[in-house]
Amino acid sequence: MARTTIHCATDGCTGTMDVQGNNRRDADYRAKKLVERGWTCRDCDNREAAAAAVAAGLPALEGSDKQVAWANGIRNATISRIEHLLKEAPSIRNLDGGGFGYNADAVEMALLIRKAGQPAVDAAFAAMKAETDARFWIDGRMDAMHVQLAAVVDRLAEEERALSPEGKAEAAAEQEAMEEATLRPAEPVSETIAELSFRDGVFAARYDERSDAFNGTVKAMGYRWDAAAMAWTRPFDPLTMGAPVDRLAETAHELLAAGLVVALHDPEARAKAVARSYDPEHRRWISVITEGANKGKFRLTWGRDEDLYGVFRGLRGAAYRGKMCLVPATSRDEVLDFAEAHAFRLTPGAEAMAAEVLERRERGVVVEATARPKAEAQPRGSRPNAMHVPSDVTLHDDLVDHD
Ligand SMILES: [Zn+2]
């Protein structure tokens, strides 16, 4: 590596820069090329940019000296580029065909004009030129021109709205409604507001903050994260979940208990959440699978924070398949005893299945057959166990024909 120092081309300026090269010859060559092209130092460039801005009638920028020096150059380039694109945009003839053959940035600008209208775009550009905050220019420097301009169009529209009587009325009404809807715990863990809703048969819970208290609470209540909806959601099941308003109230109450601020727009749900007058959700259910390979089996479900798996496994024929706790319908009697012992309720379908099994058994259709135990694995070459032959074989009375 080698370095060669070059000097600023401005008369009287002492600014320098070191030019690097792979070797002495290379460094000297690169330095010579830059000098030939009239290299000037950054201070001179900044002064020139500031002078150009003054000449163009742009206001002085505000910020630290370094920010202002940098932003002047960005602003000059941005404004001249936008001016150029605004001039080119109206000449694009085939905008609906994607503006094929035209500069892509000019096509984007033409689309913005069509969407927002020429007056709004002109007003936004005027507002940009009047912008004196150096940070505005520095922050926007990586964005495409139409993106920067569109952001100003949107901001001006929002400002117009906020300044208009209708906009003020709307904002005030929204704020009042939100205040009315908001429930606060005695000691909130955060000021972020959890929003609960029930629409189209789905409960949704939203929270704009990463929070274990929130996630843990809604998860324990059966909500799952729905990435598309950007919310925790839970489908409503009329068979097992009671009244939707009670479920909203219960979720709100649990979130409040976890120290979270909650917005609930339904007044009845809100009142119930505060008074805790909702029917708590019954979480222990026995239902029946109505389709697929497990059709006709009892399914047991219980709260996520409850541990009933061990007792469930004690039921005859109990199996965990497809994330479901299943018991064959023929274990009806054990299932009913289990339900009574552990406060499980039966859905109407499960009630019907229990009755049907009983009826079939009374008609003698259901044979309470027990599969023979699986043979123990035998070491290769060893003798199998002798077969067990029952000494006394009889036929069940029901199966004997009485002529
Ligand atoms: Zn200089």
**In angstroms, what is the span from residue 77 Cα to ligand 1's centroid?**
20
What average pLDDT values come out for the chain (403 residues) when binned by 10 residues? Answer: 93 94 95 95 90 91 92 94 94 84 92 95 96 95 95 95 93 90 93 94 94 94 93 93 95 95 93 93 94 93 88 93 93 94 94 92 69 59 54 50 48
**In angstroms, what is the span from residue 48 Cα to ligand 1's centroid?**
10
Would you give the end-to-end CA distance of the chain in angstroms? 113
Q: Which helix (H) or strand (E) holds 70?
A: helix 65-88
**In angstroms, what is the span from residue 34 Cα to ligand 1's centroid?**
14
Q: Which residue is associated with the tokens 């007792």? A: 311
CB atoms within 10 A of CB 27: 19
* Per-residue confidence (pLDDT) for residue 400, from 0 to 100: 47
**In angstroms, what is the span from residue 8 Cα to ligand 1's centroid?**
5
CA distances from 339 to 157, 295, 296, 325, 350 (A): 62, 20, 18, 14, 11
* Per-residue confidence (pLDDT) for residue 403, from 0 to 100: 46
**In angstroms, what is the span from residue 6 Cα to ligand 1's centroid?**
11
**In angstroms, what is the span from residue 26 Cα to ligand 1's centroid?**
24
**In angstroms, what is the span from residue 75 Cα to ligand 1's centroid?**
21
* Per-residue confidence (pLDDT) for residue 167, from 0 to 100: 92
* Per-residue confidence (pLDDT) for residue 95, from 0 to 100: 86
